[in-house]
């Protein structure tokens, strides 16, 4: 039984490494996920949630099982700074358990950071647990959420499967900062906090993802109405 469990864990690790060998692959995957949610507004993450987000993470998680189960995943997290979105910082997750699942399942998760405390948790450069160190809840789904509704948790979590986003709880999931992947991606050792604070210039490969997040945030903003100015001089021709 012990040998079987070790084989399951090895299967998961092999599947994870084959799907995301570099941080750039995780960045590209995050870009695809963000693009996908914009194409299906009725069954996706509400625009207001993205507009008000302090940060956002995308994880691709592989789960395998046969009596014993194990899962592992890799992804990226970005934070909103006063000058725009930060560069990506590598993150990962992993765990083992007991279950009846047989086979391998791949799921994409989107984690919306609703508060500055959520950003600080990802920026600390260590490990933390969703639900224990940071409140977490399944996020709302749809084109819009009611105006003025405050987030119910520091983090909203979603899963994406077959083109449909659904709110899902990731309580108990441990998030790990991937310092080695960050160092490889940026060409030198860098702290997650410096990346998410906008102090580290993102590589060119991250720009499509950053621009997509900026565009998604802009599209969620309400239209600007011109206010007439009384007494203003007539424009010269």
* In a domain? residue 232: no
Is 93 within 8 Å of 175 (Cβ atoms)? Answer: yes
Query: Which residues, 6 or more positions from 107, have their beta carbon under 8 angstroms from its beta carbon?
Result: 60, 61, 63, 159, 160, 161
In degrees rounded to 5, what are phi and psi of residue 109? -115, 140
Beta-ladder partners of 44: none
The DSSP letter of residue 137 is: E
Is 136 within 8 Å of 118 (Cβ atoms)? Answer: no
Strands of 173-227 (E only): list them: 174-177
* In a domain? residue 205: yes
Question: What average pLDDT does the chain have?
Answer: 78
User: Please, which pLDDT band fits residue 33 given cuts at 50, 70 and 90?
Assistant: confident
Total domain count, the chain: 1
19, 30, 64 from 14: Cα distances, Å: 9, 21, 11
The per-residue pLDDT for range 60-87, each reduced to its tens digit, is: 887 765 555 556 889 999 999 999 999 9
User: Please, which pLDDT band fits residue 223 given cuts at 50, 70 and 90?
Assistant: very low
* In a domain? residue 204: yes
* In a domain? residue 6: yes
- Domain that residue 93 falls in: 2-215
* In a domain? residue 113: yes
* In a domain? residue 237: no
* In a domain? residue 136: yes
Of 10-24, 38-52, 191-205, the poorest mean pLDDT is in 10-24
* pTM of the model as a whole: 0.78
* In a domain? residue 102: yes
- Per-residue pLDDT, 136: 87
Query: Is pLDDT above 50 for 14?
Result: yes
Mean per-residue pLDDT, 18-30: 82
Query: Is pLDDT above 70 for 42?
Result: no
The per-residue pLDDT for range 135-181, each reduced to its tens digit, is: 888 888 876 665 555 677 899 988 876 555 555 667 778 899 999 99
Q: Is the dihedral of CA 197, 198, 199, 200 positive or negative?
A: positive
Measured distance CA(43)–CA(163) in Å, rounded: 9
């Amino acid at each position: 039984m012990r040998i079987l469990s070790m084989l399951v864990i090895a299967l998961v690790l092999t599947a994870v490494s084959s799907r995301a060998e570099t941080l750039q692959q995780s960045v590209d995957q995050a870009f695809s996920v963000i693009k996908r949610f914009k194409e299906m507004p009725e069954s996706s993450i509400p625009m207001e949630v993205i507009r008000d987000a302090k940060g956002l993470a995308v994880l691709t998680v592989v789960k395998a099982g046969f009596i014993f189960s194990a899962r592992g995943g890799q992804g990226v997290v970005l934070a909103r700074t006063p000058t725009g979105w930060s560069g990506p910082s590598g993150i990962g997750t992993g765990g083992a358990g007991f279950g009846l699942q047989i086979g391998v399942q791949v799921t994409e998760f989107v984690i919306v950071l609703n508060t500055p405390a959520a950003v600080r948790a990802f920026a600390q450069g260590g490990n933390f647990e969703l639900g224990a160190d940071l409140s977490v809840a399944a996020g709302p789904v749809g084109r819009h959420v009611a105006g003025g509704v405050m987030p119910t948790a520091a983090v909203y979590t979603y899963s994406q499967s077959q083109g449909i986003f659904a709110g899902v709880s990731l309580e108990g999931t441990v998030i790990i900062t991937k310092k080695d992947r960050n160092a490889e991606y940026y060409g030198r050792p860098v702290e997650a906090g410096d990346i998410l604070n906008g102090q580290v210039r993102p590589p060119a490969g991250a720009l499509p993802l950053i621009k997509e997040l900026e565009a998604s945030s802009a599209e969620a903003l309400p239209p600007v109405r011109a206010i007439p100015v009384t007494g203003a001089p007539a424009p010269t021709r």
